Amino acid sequence: MQFKVPQDVQRADKILGPLTVRGFLTALGGGALAYIAYLTLNASTWPFVAIIIISLTAALIFLRIHDMSFTQYLFSLLIYVFRPQRRLWVQHAGDISIPLSYQPELAVKKAEKVEEKAQKTIAALAEELAAAEAKEKERFKEVGKPSTPRASLATIVKPATTPAKPATTGKV
């Protein structure tokens, strides 16, 4: 026994010409609103109201803008109008986290090794600094002042005791 397999299951079924169930119900609703306008309004105003209702109903059923139905387009337009359009950049507004699943294990291991090496280096430098500071304190205790005397400006630049004689050329 042969069965017919549906090809395009995303497209709605057409029930009356180009109308789907939703389009047909929309047309019925628009027609009902136009008929209510005919019954309730006077003869000079109901045609204008009916034209607006029928035009809007036809647009809702048949009109497509940028490959969107008119209802989707209207909702997108309303969201665009009523949501704020100004975007403000705030520094450090939130933390950006990268899941660990995106980081390769090798990079994580390398980063751990680098950090471990940096910690060892920092610890070694701190020990060297502490040892040098202890030696310096010990030296100050023994002598009471630094081992290398600091020269003052007066000892570096000695004033001349005799004034310099001007050079003579031999001509008078």
In tens, the pLDDT along 28-83 reads 999 999 999 999 999 999 999 999 999 999 999 999 999 899 999 999 999 999 98
Mean pLDDT of the chain: 81
The predicted structure's pLDDT at residue 139: 81
The predicted structure's pLDDT at residue 161: 59
Q: For the whole model, what pTM was predicted?
A: 0.45
First to last CA, the chain: 140
More confidently predicted of 41 and 146: 41
Give the C-alpha distances (Å, rounded to integers) separating 91 from 86, 88, 94. 16, 10, 8
The predicted structure's pLDDT at residue 171: 62
Report the 10 Å Cβ neighbour count for 52: 13
Q: For the chain, what are the domain ranges?
A: 15-82, 105-143
Tell whether the model's pLDDT for residue 14 goes beyond 90: no
Give the list of residues 6+ apart from residue 22 with CB closer than 8 angstroms, or none.
12
pLDDT band, residue 11 (cuts 50/70/90): confident
The predicted structure's pLDDT at residue 1: 75
Tell whether the model's pLDDT for residue 159 goes beyond 60: no
